[in-house]
Amino acid sequence: MAKQKKQKKSGLIALFKYAEIKKSLLAAGLIFSVLSAALSLVFPLFISNLVDTFRKHFSIPMVSAVIVTLLFSTLFSVLNSYTMGKASQAFIVSIRKKASTHLMNIPIKFFTDRQSGEISNHIANDTQSIDLLIRQNVSSFISGVILVIGSIMILFLTNWSLTLIVMLALVVVLLILSPTSNIQNKTSTSLQNELGHFSSRLNQVASEIRMIKSFNGQESQKKKLDDSVDRLYRFNMKVLKINSLLDPIEYTILFSSIFFVLIIGGLMVSAHSMTIGALVSFFIYFLQIMTPISSITQTINQFQSANGASEWLVNLLKTSEETDNSQLVPADTFASPLVFDQVSFAYNPTVDILQDLNFTIPAGHVTAFVGPSGGGKSTIISLIEKFYLPSKGQLTVAGKNIQVLVCNIGANMSLMFLNRVRYLSGHCEII
């Protein structure tokens, strides 16, 4: 169990081995995030001094300091968003290109074990989850930690008794968020997986609608789609129930804390033990503590989601590609006969589709494979194309096993598919 958890935590880190992230942009974005958070900590102090000086005189330098601090904080936030977004997009582009290219070179068995809609959904949506983590959550997490720690330290220096109220509210929020966030994350992960299955099923129905109608399969497919929609509904309702309970509780704790801070702070101002400016700055710091807490928990949840998404992508990129190297014997032409020598093959190990085939395809002749549907014609072509390996026997050209020939046997063959490939303009482009 501990080993599985360790592997799960390293999923996102492992993905960085397959694609380069621009460290200069990432570092710049984090620096801008830290600078913005630092100015946010200074801003309430200027507000406090400004409010207190209003009772005596209007201070133009103090007003200027507040405006300049606010403008620079906004500027650093904008620069942080842009640089982190650019770094994230460069990383996602690299991952998507590597994954798309890798798909072209991995064995066909990878695709037979999975639905095409599931593969495309993972590459598109899982990378989007990682993009959201890098682009938004990483910098907000760092700035949030700085704001929370810095604000608490300043609050203790300002008024320790009011700070205890804030700390109590903080502890209550964390006690509520901790278990509910775990439940919410598990439910959201299940929801995302079910959404992928539904999308894959829907794509499959749309692409095979002619066959479904030909065999009167509308009702069975409708039932499967309805079941998937019902499961999506149940997962969505779980998320809705959690959010419906969680959000009002958070707001209740927040406004209760604000109420007590204002009441006690107002009494202190009346007793001249605290200035109005100090109360205003205290209130701003209080908001700066409570707001990042929710963003920190969101970042943790988003990290778990992106980590799970990374695992699928890492498993894809770890899948071994088909062998193709310069040491293999080149297959320039099929000038020699193609021989099936005691060839057997099975998609399922328990049932042989082909068994002990022995025949020769002469060179320079037209050879037709004729037989009933399911007789193994397409399987024979797949073996020649090296989409699959025989479970027994071998295919030879000029006395050499085709497995030791150059991988791209397709360069010496032409296939005409009965169904038009939709992303190509026609059969001419396929040829």
Query: Is there a domain that residue 414 lies in?
Result: yes
Comparison of pLDDT for 360 and 178, the residue scoring more: 360
Asked, for residue 253, whether it belongs to a domain, the answer is yes
- Same-domain check for residues 371 and 269: no
285, 318, 351: which is the final residue of a domain?
A: 318
State the DSSP H helix or E strand holding residue 344, giving kind and residue range, or none if neither.
strand 338-345
**Residue 325 pLDDT grade (very low, low, confident, very high; cuts 50, 70, 90):** very low
For the segment 374-390, the average pLDDT, to the nearest whole number, is: 81
If one compares 213 and 84, the residue with the highest pLDDT of the two is 84
Residues 93 and 162 in one domain: yes
Query: What number is the average pLDDT over the span 330-355?
Result: 77
**Residue whose C-alpha is closest to residue 416's, from 378, 374, 372:** 378
Higher per-residue pLDDT: 73 or 183: 73
Residues 312 and 374 in one domain: no
Best-predicted range by mean pLDDT among 43-57, 68-82, 87-101, 383-397?
68-82
Q: Which of 82-91, 197-206, 327-336 has the lowest mean pLDDT?
A: 327-336
CATH number of the domain that 389 lies in?
Answer: 3.40.50.300
Site of tokens 């798309």:
100
Neighbour-count burial of 23, counting CB atoms closer than 10 A to its CB (0-12 exposed, 13-18 middle, 19+ buried): exposed
3-state helix, strand, coil in the chain (%, to 5): 70, 5, 25
Tokens (6 digits) for 321 = 């590609």
pLDDT at 424 over 80: no
Same structural domain, 272 and 185: yes
Average pLDDT, the chain: 78
8 A C-beta contact, residue 171 and residue 222 = no
User: Under a CB-based contact definition with an 8 Å cutoff, are residues 324 and 407 in contact?
Assistant: yes
pLDDT at residue 75, as a whole number: 94
* 162 in any annotated domain: yes
CA pair distance 62, 47, nearest whole angstrom: 8
Question: Residue 4 above 60 pLDDT?
Answer: no
CA distance 133 to 303: 6
Q: Is 189 left (phi over 0), alpha (psi -120 to 50) or beta?
A: alpha
Range of the domain at 60: 7-318
State both tokens at 175.
């006690």
pLDDT over 70 (residue 178): no
Q: Which two tokens stand for residue 123?
A: 């590459």
Of 46-50, 71-75, 250-254, 266-270, the one with minimum mean pLDDT is 250-254
CATH number at residue 145: 1.20.1560.10
Domain boundary among 318, 351, 369: 318
pLDDT at 76 exceeding the cut of 90: yes
What is the average pLDDT across 420-428? 46
In this predicted structure, the answer to whether residue 31 has a pLDDT above a threshold of 70 is yes
**Is residue 141 a contact partner of residue 314, using CB atoms and an 8 Å limit?**
no
Name the residue among 64, 106, 49 with its Cα closest to residue 275: 49
Residue range 323-335: average pLDDT?
Answer: 53
d(CA 245, CA 241): 6
Residues 371 and 419 grouped into a single domain: yes
Q: Binning pLDDT at 50, 70 and 90, where does residue 197 land?
A: confident
Q: For 64-87, what is the mean pLDDT?
A: 91
pLDDT digits (tens, 9 = 90+) for 203-249: 778 777 877 777 788 888 888 888 888 888 888 888 787 777 777 77
| Chain-centre distance for alpha carbon 43 | 36
Residues with Cβ < 8 Å from 394, sequence gap 6 or more?
Answer: 341, 342, 343, 401, 402, 403
Please count the structural domains in the chain. 2
DSSP structural state of residue 375: S
Q: How far apart are CA 302 and CA 310, in angstroms?
A: 12
Rounded mean pLDDT of 411-431? Answer: 52
* pTM recorded for the entire structure: 0.64
d(CA 39, CA 75): 11
Q: Specify whether 259 is located in the same domain as 357.
A: no
- Check whether 327 has a pLDDT greater than 80: no
What lies within 8 Å, CB to CB, of 283 at 6+ separation is: 258, 261, 262, 265
**Structure confidence at residue 219 (pLDDT):** 85
Co-location of 246 and 350 in the same domain: no
Indicate whether 328 belongs to any domain. no
Q: How far apart are CA 274 and CA 266, in angstroms?
A: 9
99-153 tens-digit pLDDT: 888 887 787 777 776 666 677 777 877 888 888 888 888 888 888 888 888 888 8
Pairing of the two strands 354-361 and 400-401: unpaired
Q: Where are the beta strands (DSSP E) in 66-105?
A: none
Beta bridge partners, 338, equal: 361, 397
pLDDT, residue 32, reads 93
Q: At residue 428, does pLDDT exceed 50?
A: no
pLDDT > 70 in the chain, percent: 81
pLDDT at 119: 77
> Is 326 inside a domain boundary?
no
DSSP code, position 421: P
> CA separation (Å) from 130 to 122, 153, 305, 310, 416?
12, 33, 8, 8, 40
pLDDT of residue 371: 78
Residue 356 parent element (H or E): strand 354-361
Q: Do 265 and 381 belong together in one domain?
A: no
Domain shared by 284 and 403, yes or no? no
Question: Per the domain annotation, does 330 fall within a domain?
Answer: no
The rounded Cα 423 to chain-centroid distance in angstroms is 26
pLDDT at residue number 207: 73
Residues 307 and 397 in one domain: no
Question: Which among 134, 40, 50 has a CA at the least distance from the CA of 84?
Answer: 134
Residue with the larger pLDDT of the pair 220 and 326? 220
| 269 and 414 inside one domain | no
331 occurs within a structural domain: no
For residue 161, the model assigns a pLDDT of 78
Exposed/middle/buried for residue 130 (C-beta within 10 Å: 0-12, 13-18, 19+): buried
In a domain, 324, yes or no: no
User: Which pLDDT score, from 0 to 100, does residue 294 have?
Assistant: 66
Within this chain, do residues 157 and 297 fall inside the same structural domain, yes or no?
Answer: yes
Determine the pLDDT at residue 268.
85
